Amino acid sequence: MVELKVELLGSEKTEEGLYAARLEIEYEGRQYQLKVPRLVREPARLNFRLKGDYLLVELFDREDKPLATCCIHKGHLEEGCLDCPSLIPPPHREGSSCK
């Protein structure tokens, strides 16, 4: 069984009038912090689950309305490369910063 935990650490309102959520992801003993920008409402809670090769993180606002879903290929968590431009496709192994 995979060791996985995701927490909503907080959020901040940006100069654009949008919100950015701060998440902490713990995967197989490694911890990562991730910022989810450009949210139209303030996030209040989240759900997460592994589905196939993906970690799905669903954000909800204070009225429990869906706000956003983050899809992260588990290869990025395994390789420790959450700085990639996109976390949806698997990380590139050769000629990439995702090694």
DSSP 37-70: EEESS-EEEEEEEEETTEEEEEEEETT--EEEEE
Q: Is residue 85 part of a domain?
A: no
- Neighbouring C-alpha atoms within 13 Å toward the C-beta of 70: 27
pLDDT (tens digit per residue) in 45-86: 999 999 999 999 999 999 999 999 999 999 999 988 887 778
Element (H, E) at 75: helix 74-79
Residue 98 pLDDT grade (very low, low, confident, very high; cuts 50, 70, 90): low
Residue 38 pLDDT grade (very low, low, confident, very high; cuts 50, 70, 90): very high
Q: Is residue 87 part of a domain?
A: no
Q: Is residue 68 part of a domain?
A: yes
Q: Is residue 34 part of a domain?
A: yes
- Neighbouring C-alpha atoms within 13 Å toward the C-beta of 94: 0
Q: Is residue 95 part of a domain?
A: no
In this prediction the pTM is 0.86
pLDDT value, residue 97: 55
The amino acid that residue 88 corresponds to is: I
Range of the domain at 9: 4-79
Nearest to 40 by CA among 22, 60, 18, 25: 18
**Total domains in the fold of the chain:** 1
Q: Is residue 26 part of a domain?
A: yes
